[in-house]
Amino acid sequence: MTRFWVNGLPEGSVSALDRGLHYGDGLFETMAVIDGTPLLWARHMGRLLAGCDRLGIPIPDRATLAAELERALELADRRAVVKIIVTRGSGGRGYRAPDPVEPLRIVTLNHWPDYPPSRWLEGVHVRVCATRLARQPALAGIKHLNRLEQVLARNEWRDDETAEGLMCDDRGRLVEGTMSNVFLRIRDRIATPRLDGCGVAGTLRAELLEQAEQSGLTIDQCVVTLEDLMTADEVLICNSVFGIWPVRSVAGRDFVVGEMAAALNALAARAGYDARLYGAA
C-alpha cells in the first residue's frame, strides 16, 4: 500500500488547478530506503533544489522536507522507495506563473519493487527504443515532471524479459534508459553519455563519477553513438533505486559481465548499494 502526504498532511488532497497536473510544472526525486536510510539523500536534495532554481519555483524549506521525509521513514519497511514531488502549485488558466507562487509538496512511501536477483547477478536484456528524446538544454539534467517521452518509450514493449529500453536523442545519439543512466566499456575506456542537451543526470551516476575521480578511474562524459553501444565490450545501467544492473544483451548483441561492473559496483557499495541488501548475493 502506498502512503502519501500532501504539504505534510496524511492523504491530503491536490487541487484540480495544480500546475503539476496541467503542465508538468514541477520536479520529483525517487530514492531507495535501506534500513531506514534514504540513499544519496544529499544528492537528491541538491538536484531538487537546483531544479527549482532552474524552473523559478521557490525553493522548499530544507528542514520542512527533511521532517516530512522522516515521517515517511518511520513507516518504511527494511527496503522501500520514497518519492518527493514539488510543483509550482495552483494557478489560473494559462502558462504564465501565478504571483505569488505557493509550491505544493507531495511525499509518497512505496513498497520495494519485486525485481529478480538475477538482474544484479547475471545481467539484464535491454532494447533500443524508437521514441527519441528532444534536445532542450534548459531542462537537461534535472528531473522535471514532463515524462511523456519515457512513457511512450516504456510502452514499446510488454514482455517481462526486457528490463529496460535505451533512448537516443533526435540526432540518434545514445542518452539514457527510460529510467536509468548508461555506462559502456570499450576496451580499456569507460564512457557515459553527455547530458548537456537532454536526459536526467542521475544521482547514482553523479556518485559514480565522483567516486571514480577520487579513485583514479577515468570515466569520459562524451557523445555516445549506437555504433559505440554495439561495439562495446561491456554495458551497464544504473539508477538510484536498483543500483547497478549489467547489460547481458541488446538488439541481438551479447555482452560480458566483467571488470567495469566489478569496479563500479565497488564504488556504488560505498554509497550503500551493496548487492546483499537487495537480496542479490
Catalytically annotated residues: 30, 143, 176
Contact call for residues 170 and 199 (beta carbons, < 8 A): no
Q: What Rg, from alpha-carbon coordinates, does the chain have?
A: 19
* CA pair distance 167, 185, nearest whole angstrom: 18
- Output phi, psi for 139, to 5 deg: -110, -5
Sign of CA dihedral 144, 146, 151, 153: negative
Contact call for residues 68 and 105 (beta carbons, < 8 A): yes
In this structure, what DSSP letter does residue 132 have? Answer: P
* CA pair distance 33, 44, nearest whole angstrom: 13
102 by DSSP, 3-state: which? coil
Beta strands in 112-259 (DSSP E): 124-128, 162-168, 173-177, 181-186, 189-193, 219-222, 224-225, 234-239, 243-250, 253-254
Residue with cell 545519439: 173
CA atoms within 13 A on the CB side of 75: 17
